[in-house]
């Protein structure tokens, strides 16, 4: 019996040791907290503060870097299409990117950036792709207040083909409730800069108001509903579903609180995680990249578009700002570790291909 018990104890010890070694090997292969089935492959490196990622119908990935570079990746090499003369300080610089709904037949690329001509201001401009270079075509919006914080600015086309522009309050909260200011708003314009006739406020590009620093914008597949992520101060980072003409409360109310005249958030986080880009993989699954927290979240929605669960599915790569779903069904995530608040590694910043989520 003693010999049998001793043999059983040795077997248990070896089994436990084997499991520990296997777990340690997996931990070296993937950052702590990431989901085991996720396959993460860096596809670009040596970048600087990746701000936006957009797949084109030509199966190339277009991206912006905050210092002013617009680049494209064809699956093998990265090419620089333009270097814009941006004013990069703090959170200001080159930000959002969108391709024309008719791209590449209609060869327009839309960007949002901070410029300095005397005073600093945020601008939305349309560029034209000519061969392997982008040339200036037309300024669509200009003169929005800018600052070293709370500039926004994500660009996406809605289902009607109108351009949506998120714009932060540029560090002055009262602008979000000021109808004469374009800051603290989501704006909606045509591809030539004109105001659509069906905007909620006649003659105004304002689509929704009461926003602090919105940095994520995505359309829900099958519905065209517009979802938005935005930063709270020290509480109540939000996911909102946009209703034309609605007021989302900043700085009067925050989060999911309900108050007359204000639209509550669908979901909120306290303490803050600094939500950035969002992207739908299907009508029930919304992914969110976060900066302060440095994690990728998977939010599950019900049939009515309400958020019913939140799960962290990836971490360990630092600050995450840019996010899109590729034609292969994988997520492409841009890091933001060189933005002055992160801890940059030798390969940062990177674009990561994340499959299996």
pLDDT digit string (tens) for 324-350? Answer: 999 999 999 999 999 999 999 999 999
Question: Is 231 an active-site residue?
Answer: no
Answer yes or no: is pLDDT of 86 > 50: yes
| The pLDDT value given to residue 186 | 98
Q: Is residue 24 part of a domain?
A: no
Count of beta carbons in the 10 Å neighbourhood of residue 130: 11
Answer yes or no: is pLDDT of 240 > 80: yes
- Alpha carbons 216 and 206: distance in angstroms, whole number: 17
Into how many domains does the chain fold? 1
| The pLDDT value given to residue 118 | 87
Q: Is residue 22 part of a domain?
A: no
The candidate with the shortest Cα–Cα distance to 158, out of 185, 194, 182, 187, is: 187
Q: Is residue 272 part of a domain?
A: yes
Q: What is the DSSP string of 127-182?
A: EEEETTEEEEEEEEEEEEE--SS-----EEE-TTSPEEEEE--TT-GGGGG-TT--
**Are the CB atoms for 334 and 354 separated by under 8 Å?**
no
Task: Answer whether 0.85 is exceeded by the pTM.
Answer: yes
pLDDT tens, position by position, 254-282: 999 999 999 999 999 999 999 999 999 99
| The pLDDT value given to residue 70 | 98
Q: Is residue 32 part of a domain?
A: no
Range of the domain at 90: 37-355
Identify the weakest region by mean pLDDT among 23-27, 66-70, 124-128.
Answer: 23-27
H helix and E strand count, the chain: 1, 24
* Gap between the terminal Cα atoms of the chain: 50
Answer yes or no: is pLDDT of 146 > 50: yes
Alpha helices in the chain (DSSP H): 2-29
Q: Is residue 7 part of a domain?
A: no
* Whole-number average pLDDT of the chain: 91
Q: Is residue 4 part of a domain?
A: no
- Alpha carbons 267 and 241: distance in angstroms, whole number: 10
Percent residues over pLDDT 90 in the chain: 89
| The pLDDT value given to residue 3 | 36
Summarize the confidence of residues 301-313 as an average pLDDT: 98
- Alpha carbons 321 and 51: distance in angstroms, whole number: 6
Residue reference for tokens 């003659």: 203
Strand 69-73: give its sheet, edge to edge.
Answer: 50-55, 61-65, 69-73, 78-83
Q: Is residue 41 part of a domain?
A: yes
CATH number, domain containing residue 72:
2.120.10.30
Sign of the C-alpha dihedral computed for residues 193, 194, 199 and 203 taken in this order: positive
Sign of the C-alpha dihedral computed for residues 145, 147, 150 and 151 taken in this order: positive
Summarize the confidence of residues 113-125 as an average pLDDT: 96
| The pLDDT value given to residue 348 | 98
Among residues 150, 211, 231, 297, the one annotated as catalytic is 150
Answer yes or no: is pLDDT of 134 > 70: yes
Summarize the confidence of residues 284-304 as an average pLDDT: 98
**Are the CB atoms for 21 and 15 separated by under 8 Å?**
no
- Beta-bridge partner residues of 121: 115, 145
Answer yes or no: is pLDDT of 27 > 50: no
The candidate with the shortest Cα–Cα distance to 93, out of 121, 67, 116, 62, is: 67
* Per-state percent for the chain, helix, strand, coil, to nearest 5: 10, 45, 50
Query: Which pair of structure tokens corresponds to residue 319?
Result: 């600050």
| The pLDDT value given to residue 22 | 33
Q: Is residue 108 part of a domain?
A: yes
């Amino acid at each position: 019996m003693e010999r049998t018990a001793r043999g059983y104890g040795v077997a248990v010890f070896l089994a436990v040791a084997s499991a520990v070694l296997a777990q340690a090997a997996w931990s070296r292969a993937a950052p702590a907290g990431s989901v085991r089935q996720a396959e993460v492959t860096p596809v670009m490196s040596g970048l600087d503060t990746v701000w936006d990622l957009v797949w084109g119908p030509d199966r190339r990935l277009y991206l912006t870097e905050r210092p002013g570079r617009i680049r494209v990746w064809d699956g093998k090499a990265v090419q620089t299409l333009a270097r814009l003369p941006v004013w990069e300080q703090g959170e200001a610089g080159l930000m959002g990117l969108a391709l024309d709904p008719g791209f590449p037949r209609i060869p327009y690329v839309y960007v949002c950036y901070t410029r300095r001509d005397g005073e600093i201001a945020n601008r939305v401009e349309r560029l034209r792709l000519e061969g392997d270079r982008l040339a200036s075509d037309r300024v669509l919006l200009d003169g929005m207040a800018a600052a070293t914080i709370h500039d926004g600015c994500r660009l996406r086309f809605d289902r009607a083909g109108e351009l949506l522009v998120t714009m932060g309050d540029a560090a002055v909260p009262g602008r979000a409730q000021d109808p004469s200011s374009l800051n603290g708003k989501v704006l909606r314009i045509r591809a030539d800069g004109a105001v659509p006739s069906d905007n909620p406020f006649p003659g105004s590009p304002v689509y929704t108001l009461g926003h602090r620093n919105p940095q994520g914008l995505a359309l829900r597949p099958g519905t065209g509903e517009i979802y938005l992520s935005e930063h709270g101060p020290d509480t109540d980072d939000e996911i909102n579903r946009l209703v034309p003409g609605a007021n989302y409360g900043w700085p009067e109310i925050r989060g999911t609180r309900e108050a007359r005249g204000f639209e509550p958030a669908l979901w909120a986080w306290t303490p803050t995680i600094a939500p950035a880009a969002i992207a739908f993989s299907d009508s029930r699954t919304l992914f969110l990249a976060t900066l302060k927290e440095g994690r990728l979240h998977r939010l599950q929605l019900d049939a009515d578009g309400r958020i019913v669960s939140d799960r962290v599915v990836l971490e360990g790569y630092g600050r995450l700002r840019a996010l899109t779903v590729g034609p292969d069904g994988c997520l492409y995530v841009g890091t933001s570790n060189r933005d002055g608040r992160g801890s940059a590694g030798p390969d940062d910043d990177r674009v990561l291909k994340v499959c299996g989520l």
